[in-house]
Amino acid sequence: MFDYDKEAERYDASRGGEPRAAAAADAVLGLLPEGTGTLLDVACGTGIVTRRLTAAGLDVTGADAAYGMLWRAAARVPGRVVLADIRQLPFPAESFDAVSAVWLLHLLDDAERVVAEAARVLRPGGVFVTTVDKAASHDVSSDIDAVLAPRPRRTARDRSDLVASYAGRHALLPVGRASFRGCGQGRSPVQAAADLRRGWYTLLPPGAPLTEKLATRLEQLPEQHVPRREPEFTLRAFRKPGPAARRADR
């Protein structure tokens, strides 16, 4: 898997920074039920989204397994982050009104374990919000996508229907969806060719004949340094059955 400890320093700048974080946080907030008080942000990373959820008035806890990422999150939301295995959370059952997982499930071979843990720590009436179909969101029907169409692909671990099936097996009911646009993540041909050659696409090893063939075709496209359309990310929300708990302090 990608080394997030090593990537932590440049992670935000390479993935849309504050504008993308603001768009993601707004989309998550729009899917939360009225009266939501506590939220667990699993795989909170550098805390760039976590901070915005906290600023919205929620009592937020961030959890991540990568120390390098969490160190930055702790600076953004002091006293609100924990180092934890997101597939075995260190919280009792029914601890939170909501759980969010932004840009996580696509990374995991055992994504269902995250969904199961979210269901466990949610209170009745609580909502699990997660991004789905991340890889597909980057296909914006551009000339770059046309060149890359023949590449081999893995089955998406966060495919929307798969995530819905995981949720259903853990008694979570679909209750909504939302979308938000990326910021600064539209690909240019020159960037896409460089990503190919550095092994960004795991089924296309650097130096392999198909890798070089596709990279060469990308380098022949017009407007080499012009980014194509931004990706559109998708969120889905799933509710734990039962009446929401009363909030004595709200």
Residue 36 confidence (pLDDT): 97
181 neighbors 227 (Cβ within 8 angstroms): no
Q: Distance between CA atoms of 50 and 47, rounded to whole angstroms?
A: 5
* pLDDT band for position 76 (cuts 50, 70, 90): confident
pLDDT in tens, 41-50: 999 988 889 9
20 neighbors 182 (Cβ within 8 angstroms): yes
Q: Distance between CA atoms of 233 and 158, rounded to whole angstroms?
A: 12
Task: For residue 239, give both structure tokens.
Answer: 């509710």
Residue 249 has pLDDT above 50, yes or no: no
Q: Distance between CA atoms of 168 and 138, rounded to whole angstroms?
A: 27
pLDDT in tens, 102-152: 989 998 889 999 999 999 999 999 999 999 999 899 899 999 999 999 999
Residue 78 has pLDDT above 80, yes or no: yes
Q: Distance between CA atoms of 121 and 90, rounded to whole angstroms?
A: 10
Residue 70 has pLDDT above 90, yes or no: no
Residue 189 confidence (pLDDT): 97
Please report, as a single letter, which amino acid is at residue 106.
H
Residue 175 has pLDDT above 60, yes or no: yes
Q: Would you tell me how many other CB atoms lie within 10 Å of the CB of residue 156?
A: 18
* pLDDT band for position 79 (cuts 50, 70, 90): confident
Task: For residue 66, give both structure tokens.
Answer: 């990568």
Residue 67 confidence (pLDDT): 81
Q: Distance between CA atoms of 119 and 163, rounded to whole angstroms?
A: 13
pLDDT in tens, 176-227: 999 998 888 889 999 999 999 998 888 899 999 999 999 999 999 999 999 9
What average pLDDT does this structure show over 90-98?
Answer: 97
Give the global pTM. Answer: 0.86
134 neighbors 106 (Cβ within 8 angstroms): yes
For 17, residues 6+ apart whose C-beta sits below 8 A from its C-beta are: 48, 183, 184
Q: Distance between CA atoms of 165 and 60, rounded to whole angstroms?
A: 27
Domains by residue range for the chain, with CATH: 8-138+154-186+230-240 (3.40.50.150)
Q: Strand order in 232-239's β-sheet? A: 81-83, 59-64, 38-42, 96-101, 122-132, 232-239, 173-181
